[in-house]
Amino acid sequence: MRGKFDCFNMRQRLSPDYYITGILAHDRLVLSQAITLVESQLAADYPLAQAVLDGVLAHTGNSMRIGITGVPGVGKSTFIEVFGQHLTAQGHQLAVLALDPTSQRSGGSLLGDKTRMENLSMNPSAYIRPSPVGNALGGIGHRTRETMLLCEAAGFDIILIETVGVGQSETVVYELVDFFLLLMLAGAGDELQGMKRGIMELADALAITKADGDNGPAANRAQFEYQNALHLFPPTGTGWQPPVLTCSALTNAGMADVWQLIQEHQKLTTQNGHRAQRRQSQQVNWFRELLRQRLDGQFFGQPGIRNRMNDLENRVRQGEILPGKAVGELLG
Ligand code: GDP
pTM recorded for the entire structure: 0.87
Please give the average per-residue pLDDT across 306-310, as a whole number. Answer: 91
Whether the pLDDT of residue 206 is over 60: the answer is yes
Please give the average per-residue pLDDT across 141-149, as a whole number. Answer: 87
The pLDDT, as a whole number, for residue 220 is 94
- Ligand 1 residue neighbourhood (C-beta within 6 Å): 70, 72-78, 209-210, 212, 248-250
Residue 110 binned pLDDT confidence (cut-offs 50, 70, 90): very low
* 213-253 pLDDT, tens digit each: 999 999 999 999 889 888 888 888 888 999 999 999 999 99
Please name which of 152, 130, 131 lies closest in space to residue 142, comparing C-alpha atoms. 131
Residue 215, amino acid: N
- The proportion of the chain whose per-residue pLDDT surpasses 90, expressed as a percent, equals 61
Give the three-state DSSP class for 132: strand
Residue 208 binned pLDDT confidence (cut-offs 50, 70, 90): very high
**CA 121/CA 138 separation, integer angstroms:** 33
The pLDDT, as a whole number, for residue 169 is 75
80 Cα nearest atom in ligand 1:
7
Per DSSP, 190 falls in state T
Q: How many angstroms does the Cα of residue 28 sit away from the middle of ligand 1? A: 29
- The proportion of the chain whose per-residue pLDDT surpasses 70, expressed as a percent, equals 84
74 Cα nearest atom in ligand 1:
3
Q: How many angstroms does the Cα of residue 264 sit away from the middle of ligand 1? A: 27
Q: Which of 24-38, 172-186, 294-308 has the lowest mean pLDDT?
A: 294-308
Q: How many CB atoms lie within 10 A of CB 166?
A: 17
Residue 271 binned pLDDT confidence (cut-offs 50, 70, 90): very high
162 Cα nearest atom in ligand 1:
4
Q: Which of 5-14, 25-34, 209-218, 263-272 has the lowest mean pLDDT?
A: 5-14
Please give the average per-residue pLDDT across 121-145, as a whole number. Answer: 75
Residue 10 binned pLDDT confidence (cut-offs 50, 70, 90): very low
The pLDDT, as a whole number, for residue 111 is 43
Q: How many angstroms does the Cα of residue 65 sit away from the middle of ligand 1? A: 23
Please name which of 134, 112, 164 lies closest in space to residue 38, comparing C-alpha atoms. 134
Positive or negative: CA dihedral 250, 254, 260, 265: negative
**CA 138/CA 175 separation, integer angstroms:** 21
- Residue of the nearest CA to atom 5 in ligand 1? 75
The pLDDT, as a whole number, for residue 157 is 98
The pLDDT, as a whole number, for residue 215 is 93
Q: How many angstroms does the Cα of residue 219 sit away from the middle of ligand 1? A: 14
The pLDDT, as a whole number, for residue 79 is 96
